[in-house]
Structure 1
Amino acid sequence: MNELRWSKVDEFLIDTLVEQDEALLAALAANSEANLPAIDVSPNQGKLLHIYARMMGAKRVLEIGTLGGYSTIWLARALPEDGKVITLEYEPRHAEIAAKNIRRAGLESRVTILVGPALESLPKLHSSAPFDLIFIDADKKNNPAYLEWALKYSRKGTVIVGDNVVRDGRITDEADRDEHIAGLREFLQRQGEEQRLTATAIQTVGAKGWDGFSVAIVG
């Protein structure tokens, strides 16, 4: 019953506040038709990322985890003409679909997709740093390592956003031996301990169930 009500509220908020044009809707449709995992950010979450980028006047964005490029489109649209999103995707097929979605949206000049394990791509990005906004939404077991790279590629004022940090409350279960849950727990703990970061996390409910995201600013 709760999930049904959460979904209805999400639908209302999206219908009221989030305008999705043909390119965004086509990206979601293409991802579904290609049987990509249904783990895109929701439309209201995508717009939240867009607002974050615009609020801080971001010009350079790093996204770890592209999937079909839905969140990438939201981020790229927040940037000026000379802005750039570098997005990292492990699966070549996902990257291919994302490239088509991004091209359909007319954003190929603002987006570079790097294919392969993120931990192999990240050491190659020194010349592109620092980034203004870093969005971490890939395999959760490696989130602690992604955080370390995010800090290396940050400047004072860089914002680091992590997705899916609650996982139906499993984050609190220390007996849960799932490597992704353990990675998320360490990811959050390191943010709390890191003197360079001012961080918080918010629980969310909606069409995608009970989850949350973390937000940190480098000081």
Structure 2
Amino acid sequence: MLRLPVPWRSAISPDMSTSAGPHHDHRTASWAYAESFVPEDEVLLRARERAAELGCPAVLPGAGALLRVVAAALGARAVVEVGTGTGVASLWMLRGMPADGVLTTIDVELEHQRAAKQAFAEEGVPPARTRTIPGRPSDVLPRLTDGAYDLVLVAADPHAYPEYVAEALRLLRPGGVLAVDGALHGGRVADPARRDELTTAVREVGRVLRSDERLVPALVPSGDGLLLAVRR
């Protein structure tokens, strides 16, 4: 029997698919296998446990592993993260970035960033490789340099995703990648009957990225959905 790591086993729910029956069971098992494909070590698991204790979201392992791959493929030396949390996604991206890469990470909660710094210390990340900025992303993002970043991850407050994504696109260099976590929102985005404010906001981001001729988008069902777009 396939066993999932305890800290995120509860992330699987019936809402993650709108279908049922044998095909649904097959897809659920395949998703679970993919999420476990790159196991999380003790540093990541402790960061995930802190996230659960503080009640803040954290990317699931499949999305984290994919972010590491993207960072490595880009050779990403300049990365922005909207929503530090306790550093789970930060660690995944740092592991894919070159040794001289710098992660700029933004979160409105100081307690979250303190927990993330603890994770960075456990990982042995040199202080010069991370720039933690406390504050509202809507206040911080406009101060960052246009076209200067290889990768931007949006993973905070889905209600504000449209605003954050617009700013993220401004920050990306040509060939840079935008990543939006939680793009399936527990299966709700794929269900046309779901029209609540949060689901609509997340769905609208996908529509905007899909229709923007400057971008090459894809929606990957890793974690809770990772929406990726390369800026031409």
Q: TM-score, normalised by structure 1?
A: 0.83
Query: Does residue 181 of structure 2 align to residue 163 of structure 1?
Result: yes
Aligned to 1:20: 40
CA contact (8 A) 1:36 1:68 kept: no
Q: Does 1:176 align with 2:195?
A: yes
* In structure 1, distance between residues paired with 2:200 and 2:48: 30
* CA distances 1:1-53 after superposition (whole Å, capped 9, x unpaired): x85967765665455x3243332222223333x3333x311223211110111
Consecutive unaligned residues of structure 1, counting only runs of 5 or more, are none
- 2:71 maps to which residue? 53
Q: How many angstroms apart in 1 are the aligned matches of 2:220 and 2:48?
A: 25
CA RMSD in angstroms comes to 2.5
Q: Deviations over 1:111-157 (max 9, x none)?
A: 11111110101012128x51111111111121111121112111110
- Residues 6-15 or 144-153, more deviating: 6-15
- Specify the alignment match of 2:130 in structure 1: 111
Structure 1 residue matching 2:40: 3-state secondary structure: coil
Matched, 1:186 2:199: no
Q: Do the aligned partners of 2:108 and 2:135 also contact (CA within 8 Å) in 1?
A: yes
Q: Name the CA distance, whole Å, in 1 between partners of 2:204 and 2:62.
A: 27
* Residues 72, 98 of structure 2: 8 Å contact kept: no
Percent identity reads 26
Which residue number corresponds to residue 74 of structure 1? Answer: 92
Question: Partners in 2 of 1:195 and 1:100 — Cα distance?
Answer: 41
Cα gap change, 1:30/1:203 in structure 2, threshold over 3 Å: closer, same or farther?
A: closer
Instruction: State the 4+ residue runs in structure 1 displaced beyond 4 angstroms.
Output: 2-15
Pairwise CA distance, 1:69: 0.5
Cα distance, 1:193 vs. partner?
Answer: 2.0
Distance 2:106 2:179 in 1: 15
Partner of 2:229: 216
Local SS of the residue matching 2:162:
helix
Q: Matched residues in 2 for 1:177 and 1:22: separation?
A: 37
SS of structure 2 residue aligned to 1:126: coil
Residues in 2 aligned to 1:135 and 1:116: alpha-carbon distance in whole angstroms: 16
Instruction: Give aligned pairs, total.
Output: 208
Structure 2 unaligned spans of 5+: 1-11, 15-24
Write the distance in 2 (CA, Å) between the matches of 1:217 and 1:68. 27
